[in-house]
């Protein structure tokens, strides 16, 4: 992991308290925790993981929402939701996740906000297909997650092997691209309002040609579209369902749903509880 160089900006007193209290592991003290103000939820302070990414050529800051149980059950490790589009999606998903675990719809998750690089989400989430723009770097962004971000979080926090990738719109396109990597990196994929139309719907052709490899742990894919989204989004979503229906069933469980009353912007928030309930089998 020589390419992984994790940096840190630490308020010393807070870091010492965090290590002493079991919030982070001792090894993380050298590299990974700082604090940031989380405006949308008032006075809450969120820890951050700063990853100096070789793949992306710049530092990327991951904001981390810890469940209440993280600080009360110090022998427990936790599954992780990796949420694309960082600040715009992470806070509402973390809030919803806390509620769902409190009412025992799901186990507690760590929620990680993954921001885009300085090149922007259109570049980070666009697969490097033959006719893609020159700055398309979904392959590099995936390698950043796989080889840098996920190991950095595992060094800083008590995580188990369960990881779910969450993407909306262009992030949903990237999440489908990640599914096609046939990697054990993620065992769950939540895809909200995927931009299937981008790149002349090439993602559909990639899915048609794919031959998913069976895995020891079944891969689970949740798809949703808002009831009030446009025809272009709906036609792509329906084509996606048709292709997945013909996929080999070994190793993949999936479901697709239309979210009542939702439009493109509100679909992630409104359908996330359904995704968690389906994934958890409750």
| Maximum distance among all Cα pairs of the chain, rounded to whole angstroms | 56
Q: What confidence score (pLDDT) does residue 44 get? A: 59
Per CATH, domain 60-280 is 3.40.50.1820? yes
pLDDT tens per residue, range 226-266: 999 999 999 999 999 999 998 876 678 999 999 999 999 99
Domain ranges of the chain: 60-280
With a cut of 50, list the residues of the chain below it in pLDDT: 1-43
Please give the pLDDT value at position 42.
37
Give the global pTM: 0.84
């Amino acid at each position: 992991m020589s390419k992984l160089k994790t940096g840190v900006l630490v308020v010393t007193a807070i870091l010492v308290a965090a290590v002493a209290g079991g919030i982070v592991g001792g090894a993380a003290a050298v590299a990974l925790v700082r604090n940031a103000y989380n405006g949308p939820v008032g006075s809450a302070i969120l820890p951050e993981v700063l990853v100096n990414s070789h793949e992306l050529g710049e530092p990327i800051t991951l904001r981390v929402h810890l469940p209440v149980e993280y600080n009360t059950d110090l022998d427990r490790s936790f599954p992780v939701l990796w949420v694309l589009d960082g600040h715009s999606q992470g806070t509402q998903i973390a809030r919803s996740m806390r509620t769902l675990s409190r009412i025992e719809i799901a186990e507690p998750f760590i929620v990680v906000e993954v921001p885009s690089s300085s090149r922007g989400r259109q570049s980070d989430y666009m697969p490097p297909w033959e006719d893609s723009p020159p700055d398309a770097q979904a392959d590099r962004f995936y390698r950043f997650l796989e080889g840098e971000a996920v190991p950095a979080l595992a060094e800083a926090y008590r995580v188990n092997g369960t990881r779910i990738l969450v993407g909306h719109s262009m992030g949903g396109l990237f999440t489908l691209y990640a599914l096609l990597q046939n990697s054990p990196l993620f065992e769950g994929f939540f895809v909200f309002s995927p931009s299937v139309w981008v790149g002349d719907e090439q993602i559909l052709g990639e899915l048609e040609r794919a031959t998913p490899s069976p895995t020891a742990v079944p891969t689970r894919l949740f798809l949703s579209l808002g009831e009030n989204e446009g025809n272009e989004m709906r036609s792509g979503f329906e084509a996606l369902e048709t292709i997945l229906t013909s996929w080999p069933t070994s190793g993949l469980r999936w479901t697709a749903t239309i979210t009542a009353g939702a439009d493109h912007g509100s679909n992630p928030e409104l359908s996330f509880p359904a995704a968690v309930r389906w994934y958890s089998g409750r």
